[in-house]
Structure 1
Amino acid sequence: MILSSEIEIYEFVEELGHGMFSDVASFRRKSDRKIVAVKRMSRVHCLMGIREARLLAALTGKNACNHHIVRFYEGFADRYYFYIVEEAMEMSLTDYQKANALKRFRVCDIRTVVLQVLVALAKLKEMGIVHADIKQENIMLVNQRFQPFRVKLVDFGSSMTANELAAMWTPYIQPRFIRAPEVLLACPCTAKIDMWSLGCVMGEMALGRMVFPSLCDLELAHSIFGTRGLPSPAMLKSGIKTKMFFDWVETGTGARFWLLKPYKGRELLTGTQSLRRHAPANLDLLQAMEQLEHGSADCDYAELADRRSLVDLLDRMLTLEPEQRVGPDQALQHPFLTLKHLSGRGKYRAFYALQAYREAGVCPPQERSSNHEDSSEEGDPEVPRRKRRSVGRSLRSFFSRLFSRRRKKQPTTSQGNEDALEGPSSSAAPGGQPAHNPVTTEEGCTETAGSSSAPESEECAGNNGSPLDAPEEPPKKRGFLRWLRTRFSARRGKKSVAAPGSSSSSQ
């Protein structure tokens, strides 16, 4: 089988899957022999295909393929079908779970997948697009062998703009098991419906079963409202389909309230207790997930903290009120994804938590606690990097502190003793007697100030009787070795001063 468009020829390789409105197969491009995925829709659903192709083209034009959204190549039609050409993926999360007989995913793998889907949802929110079909079948693994759990979001057949979603009178979107409560009650909908669906996917990956199982809308209402609580009166009042699930009951005292209608479809077969076991109240069952194999105490506590953080994010995603539900930008700053809850366990965090990010080629989100105001966790303080110092600068600083400390311990010397300091042309007479130097103290200070550095001029100030309390700094422009010789010769000169009478004679 060969398909031809205006710019490319595709050779059939194999079938990949069948959907409600389309079929997917892999083809090989003749130009570069690259494998691509081709989605085929009948002429009846041609308008849906054209709409999806336009959305994908707009996303690809905005570089959305680098935000974990499938790359779009082209769309074309023949006499019977409409085709959408996309990049080829390996398998969906559902296929991977079935192929490996997994009951549930590891917490670190859930974190990696949820992070990437949130990045995709943040990009969609930026462009004003709602996916409306977030489920495991539409989260595809790119290359599980070389990049484990690197995923991309596919299937934009049900997508629409946020304005189109808000204008819908009674939206009938999303599969039932991931349907948001505002869609169920036909309330005004926003892009937060994708966050509810992602929460259902996240819970299914952790539990190994559907979070809200149902066979009809009333059973779904019992699954959601029986575990997450009843919606607010304002939300119930704004819902067009509220009376399909709730009765407006008036008590004998005149009080009125909404009462969830009883569901009798499966009660005779399974019972209410069996139904409730499928949806744990307030998701407490997640906190009781079995621990990892026996390890160190630090690992056990870190694993427990990781699971509790997962439950907290899941609880925020499955909030009934859309206004209070967490958005993609806020969720990206949650401790479960930024790993703030493991900040005190450096080795464990580096090996356990960051390993999955590294293998998938995913960068962890930036920790901006201001964007996640609901979190009580605080980010780790940033450790300033130490500036590199040269060897010469370090030595100058060390000897400056050393000489200033010794000078403070000794009494202030007289003017005659200071004459024993040897400059570039001075010398000590044998026998410990200071050599005769015709240059006076003022001239010596002037000459030293003109030819030497600031520390020597301060010494001359000390000859006039002021203590040398200020620490000296080595010369910056003169040679360091010259300054060092001067300092050591000064110390030798102080030791060679004979008696106090010599100072009086020199005066």
Structure 2
Amino acid sequence: MPRCIYFYFTFTFACKSARSAILASRCSSVSSTTTSLSSPSSLQENFILRSHEGVYIVEKFLGEGTFGKVAKCTNLSTNKEVAIKIIKKGFNHTAQDEIKAMIEISKIDAHKYNLFKCVDWFHYKSHVCMVFEMLDQSLFDFMNDRRSRPLFVQEIRDIAWQLLISLKGLKSINLVHCDIKLDNIMLVNQVSEPFRVKLIDFGLTKKTTDMRTGTRMQNICFRAPEVILGLPLDERLDMWTVGYVLALLYAGFYILPPGSEYDIIRAMVEMQGMPDSEHLDQGLYTNKFFTKTEENSKVLKYVYCNETKMEEVEQLIDLLKQMLEVDPNKRISPNDALRHPFFKFEMKNVPQRPAANSQERSSNKNMTSLVQQQKAEKRKAPAASRKRKNSDQQSQDRETSWQMEAAVKKKKKS
């Protein structure tokens, strides 16, 4: 009976755009003055907020985080719903960084690259208020609502393509998001545009040239190995976190232990293998993680389904392994990832997929021939191998384990 691989890793937000010149002229005026108001808590529903671009009425509050609150508001001039992020006093530097990132993003087509766009910003007393288009819900809330039940491969493919396009857009303007996680990926409208997503929250975004070796960043659950090890940093750390997000959506749980950095590094190496010694020698913090012996390797679990699903999942796993490459020098780039055979399968929700440029269209045309070549190679496999495959297909209840390479080598005491 045909089979598929059900892969388990066992360790684990359009309104009118604001012009760049206007944003730039306002950015320098972000105020850090203090008043008796220390948080956005004095804001209540039905409050009126005024800016140069419009008048907004607060409908309700959507949530609160470290840097402030997000409120659902209505622009009384246009009668359109918007989301306004109200920054807490003391975090205006974060708002200024995000506005600078918004200026850079305004230089490209944010909609094409699935990036959240700031349409207005103003001050409310000592608080910076940023106005964004109103989206649906985050992938974090979406997964919670479905009790972390894994997504189908087709749904993951749709999300993966859009996030890779986002990385491509950020790379074109030399920006690194630095905080990609489920909370910062928003569904646009799950009813009218299923699994159409946008990357949001650019408060921690940095220019590639401003990345400093040894800087601690990212949520620990999504932290790239080069951040943990103290290696040189660039946009490739965003590729790691996108890969991690996709693996989480497929498995339904965190594939790396959300505990200490040591546990994370251990699990990374057990899944992907030991990094090159030359690579480790560059790390400022390498000695913190490679002085103990950890040999309890884990496995990938297989179950059976149909052959088409098997091929899809195999391609997904291959893409994830290249996105989650421990060595950033070997990690797949956004352009190469968009050409991966995983995207050869026809996407059901065509409007979700932005128009590819000529290079991507040419690459996509070649995907069919690539798959045909792979199938031809499989037909040349020895008869014994084919018999073994047929035998495996008939064993519906049988589970096979793929033993991953041991992660950490023993170091002799001097």
Q: Which TM class, normalised by the smaller chain length?
A: 0.7 to 0.9
Quote the Cα distance in structure 1 between the aligned partners of 2:88 and 2:281.
41
Q: Are 1:70 and 1:154, in contact at CA under 8 Å, matched by a contact in 2?
A: yes
Quote the Cα distance in structure 2 between the aligned partners of 1:223 and 1:307.
22
* Deviation by residue 1:53-84 (Cα, 9 ceiling, x = unmatched): 12113212322222100121122223221111
Match of 1:146 among 182, 188, 192: 192
In structure 2, the CA distance between the partners of 1:7 and 1:177, relative to structure 1 (3 Å rule), is same
Q: Are 2:175 and 2:207, in contact at CA under 8 Å, matched by a contact in 1?
A: yes
Quote the Cα distance in structure 2 between the aligned partners of 1:323 and 1:205.
25
| Offset at residue 302 of structure 1 (A) | 1.3
| Offset at residue 376 of structure 1 (A) | 11
Question: 2:257 maps to what in 1?
Answer: 213
Alignment of 1:65-464 (within 5 A): 65-165=111-211, 168-247=212-291, 261=292, 280-281=298-299, 284-285=300-301, 288=302, 291=305, 300-339=306-345, 353-355=346-348, 357-358=349-350, 360=352, 362-363=354-355, 366-369=360-363, 378=370
Quote the Cα distance in structure 2 between the aligned partners of 1:206 and 1:24.
29
| Offset at residue 224 of structure 1 (A) | 1.4
| Offset at residue 371 of structure 1 (A) | 12
Quote the Cα distance in structure 2 between the aligned partners of 1:61 and 1:231.
38
Q: Are 2:187 and 2:197, in contact at CA under 8 Å, matched by a contact in 1?
A: yes
| Offset at residue 89 of structure 1 (A) | 0.7
Q: Are 1:203 and 1:211, in contact at CA under 8 Å, matched by a contact in 2?
A: yes
Quote the Cα distance in structure 2 between the aligned partners of 1:42 and 1:137.
19
Quote the Cα distance in structure 2 between the aligned partners of 1:38 and 1:290.
47
* Deviation by residue 1:217-246 (Cα, 9 ceiling, x = unmatched): 112122212322222111211111111112
| Offset at residue 377 of structure 1 (A) | 6.3
SS at match of 1:314: helix
| Offset at residue 289 of structure 1 (A) | 5.2
Question: 1:47 maps to what in 2?
Answer: 93
SS at match of 1:246: coil
Q: Are 1:117 and 1:153, in contact at CA under 8 Å, matched by a contact in 2?
A: yes
The one-letter code of the counterpart of 2:137 is: M
In the alignment, structure 1 segments of 5+ residues that lack a partner are: 248-260, 264-271, 292-299, 340-352, 382-507
Quote the Cα distance in structure 1 between the aligned partners of 2:283 and 2:365.
31
Q: TM-score normalised to the size of structure 2?
A: 0.73
Q: Are 2:344 and 2:368, in contact at CA under 8 Å, matched by a contact in 1?
A: no
Quote the Cα distance in structure 2 between the aligned partners of 1:190 and 1:371.
31
| Offset at residue 13 of structure 1 (A) | 1.0
The one-letter code of the counterpart of 1:354 is: M
Quote the Cα distance in structure 2 between the aligned partners of 1:216 and 1:67.
34
Quote the Cα distance in structure 1 between the aligned partners of 2:215 and 2:171.
19
SS at match of 1:312: helix
The one-letter code of the counterpart of 1:159 is: T
SS at match of 2:166: helix
| Offset at residue 118 of structure 1 (A) | 0.5
In structure 2, the CA distance between the partners of 1:187 and 1:370, relative to structure 1 (3 Å rule), is farther
Quote the Cα distance in structure 1 between the aligned partners of 2:355 and 2:144.
28
Q: Are 1:71 and 1:86, in contact at CA under 8 Å, matched by a contact in 2?
A: yes
Match of 1:38 among 64, 84, 87: 84
Which is richer in helix?
Answer: 1
* Deviation by residue 1:31-53 (Cα, 9 ceiling, x = unmatched): 10111111111221101101101
Q: Looking at CA atoms only, which structure, 1 or 2, has the larger radius of gyration?
A: 1
* Deviation by residue 1:311-332 (Cα, 9 ceiling, x = unmatched): 1100110111111100111100
SS at match of 2:328: coil
Quote the Cα distance in structure 2 between the aligned partners of 1:209 and 1:377.
35
* Deviation by residue 1:10-34 (Cα, 9 ceiling, x = unmatched): 1001111222222211111111011
Bigger relative contact order, structure 1 or 2, given CA contacts below 8 A and separation 6+?
Answer: 2
Question: 1:26 maps to what in 2?
Answer: 72
* Deviation by residue 1:148-170 (Cα, 9 ceiling, x = unmatched): 000000011111011011xx131
Q: Are 2:71 and 2:84, in contact at CA under 8 Å, matched by a contact in 1?
A: yes
SS at match of 2:204: coil
Q: Are 1:150 and 1:362, in contact at CA under 8 Å, matched by a contact in 2?
A: no
In structure 2, the CA distance between the partners of 1:246 and 1:220, relative to structure 1 (3 Å rule), is same
* Deviation by residue 1:321-373 (Cα, 9 ceiling, x = unmatched): 1111001111000011133xxxxxxxxxxxxx421x3264655783444999x
Quote the Cα distance in structure 1 between the aligned partners of 2:279 and 2:90.
37
Quote the Cα distance in structure 2 between the aligned partners of 1:227 and 1:311.
12
| Offset at residue 262 of structure 1 (A) | 5.1
Quote the Cα distance in structure 1 between the aligned partners of 2:126 and 2:149.
41
Quote the Cα distance in structure 2 between the aligned partners of 1:379 and 1:226.
30
Quote the Cα distance in structure 2 between the aligned partners of 1:335 and 1:124.
23
Q: Are 1:369 and 1:379, in contact at CA under 8 Å, matched by a contact in 2?
A: no
| Offset at residue 215 of structure 1 (A) | 1.3
Question: 1:420 maps to what in 2?
Answer: none
Q: TM-score normalised to the size of structure 1?
A: 0.60
In the alignment, structure 2 segments of 5+ residues that lack a partner are: 1-46, 374-414
Quote the Cα distance in structure 2 between the aligned partners of 1:198 and 1:241.
24
